[in-house]
């Protein structure tokens, strides 16, 4: 289970989109699998095949066998509709109430800090002052001391008017070249070592969703078609995918790593476009050179490059 929970709103940054989509799809599937285990066993005994079993055959085993309980503090202040600001004092008071309820047996796994914890000019890297004069250290320390995992909410500047840090711009826009590849339903080929330094082979494109998949459960099926593709591809070796007709999704060990991968993805998509413009018959990089560049940075005996983004 991650040490920090990061969630996005409806218009979450594209760089974070895959983390949210895939993680929630798999966690919810794990919850459903746990809650329907008895029904599945009865179905097998009676010779029946349940919907959960059919999904399980394609999605794979669940990552979470139990539901996760998250406290979200939005209703305690809601700065969009009232005048109560989110302050350190309010957040700590809420934490005290959580701990009080836990003594009565109420379960809490995460405390998620909702919107307006950040300085609009800090690019999600600076806590808002004067509401948090000393930053989040005391809140995080008390959460962890009591076995509660702290979480943060993020969104784009459409709702909370954040002024993104320059290096985050690609994660807060439509990532032009990668999106163009997704719309063309074309993978991003690995033409050179710049690509191979971050992605062990082409960045794939998913199949198009069917009409029924779009109408019935669009978001879940988007996550499912991504997961299905990575049954045979290591998602750590290729931390990105293009959803056909939609756009790029990236992930990583943390939100910062996902954003970093999104920036790199856009760069290699642009380079691939220029490569094909200059030479439509350009050849893929040799596999031994591709493997060398990727594994020397990301393999078990990695020895080259800067420290990985956490």
Query: Which pLDDT score, from 0 to 100, does residue 213 have?
Result: 93
pLDDT in tens, 262-298: 889 999 999 999 999 999 999 999 999 999 999 998 8
Judge whether residue 300 has pLDDT over 50: yes
Domain-wise residue ranges, the chain: 5-160, 166-298
Q: Mean pLDDT across the chain, nearest whole number?
A: 77
Active-site annotation, residues: 197, 304
pLDDT in tens, 126-171: 888 889 998 999 999 999 999 999 998 876 545 555 665 554 444 4
For range 252-257, the mean pLDDT: 81
Architecture of domain 166-298: 3-Layer(aba) Sandwich (3.40)
For range 71-80, the mean pLDDT: 82
For range 232-252, the mean pLDDT: 90
pLDDT in tens, 15-31: 333 333 333 333 333 33
3-state secondary structure the chain: CCCCEEEECCCCCHHHHHHHHHHHHHHHHHHHHHHCHHHHHHHHHCCCCCHHHHHHHHHCCCCCCCCCCEEECHHHCCCCCCCCCCCHHHHHHHHHHHHHHHCCCCCCCEEEECCCCECCCCCCCCECCCCCCCCCHHHHHHHHHCCCEEEEEECCHHHHCCCCCHHHHHHHCCCHHHHHHHHCCCCECCCCHHHHCCCCCCECECCCCCHHHHHHHHHHHHHHHHHHHCCCCCCCCCCEEEECCCEEEECCCCHHHHHHHHHHHHHHHHHHHHHHHHCCCCCCCCHHHHHHHHHHHHCCCCCCCCCCCC
Q: Which is more confident, 104 or 57?
A: 104
Question: What is the value of pTM for the model shown?
Answer: 0.48
């Amino acid at each position: 289970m991650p040490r920090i929970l990061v969630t996005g709103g409806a218009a979450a940054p594209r760089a974070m989109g895959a983390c949210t989509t895939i993680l929630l799809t798999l966690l919810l599937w794990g919850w459903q699998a746990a809650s329907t285990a008895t029904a599945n066993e009865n179905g097998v005994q009676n010779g029946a095949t349940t919907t959960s079993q059919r999904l399980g055959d394609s999605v794979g085993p669940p990552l979470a066998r139990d539901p996760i309980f998250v406290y979200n503090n939005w209703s305690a202040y809601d700065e969009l509709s009232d005048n109560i600001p989110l302050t350190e004092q309010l957040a700590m008071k809420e934490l005290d109430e959580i701990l009080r309820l836990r003594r009565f047996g109420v379960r809490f796994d995460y405390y998620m800090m909702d919107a307006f914890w950040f300085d609009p000019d800090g690019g999600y890297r600076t806590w808002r002052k004067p509401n948090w004069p000393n930053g989040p250290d005391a809140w995080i320390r008390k959460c962890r001391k009591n076995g509660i995992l702290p979480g943060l909410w993020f969104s784009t500047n459409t709702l909370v008017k954040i002024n993104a840090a320059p290096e985050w711009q690609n994660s807060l826009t439509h990532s032009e070249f990668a999106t163009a590849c997704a719309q063309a339903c074309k993978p991003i080929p690995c033409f050179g070592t710049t690509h191979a330094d971050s992605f062990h082979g082409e960045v794939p494109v998913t199949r198009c969703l069917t009409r029924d998949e779009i109408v019935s459960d669009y978001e879940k099926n988007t996550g499912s078609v991504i997961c299905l593709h990575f049954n045979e591809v290591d998602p750590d070796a290729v931390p990105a995918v293009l959803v056909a007709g939609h756009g790029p999704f990236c992930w990583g060990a943390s939100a910062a790593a996902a954003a970093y991968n999104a920036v790199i993805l856009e760069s290699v998509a642009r380079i691939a476009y220029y490569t094909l413009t200059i030479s439509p018959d350009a050849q893929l990089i040799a596999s031994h050179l591709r493997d060398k560049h990727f594994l020397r940075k990301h393999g078990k005996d990695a020895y080259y490059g800067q420290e990985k983004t956490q």
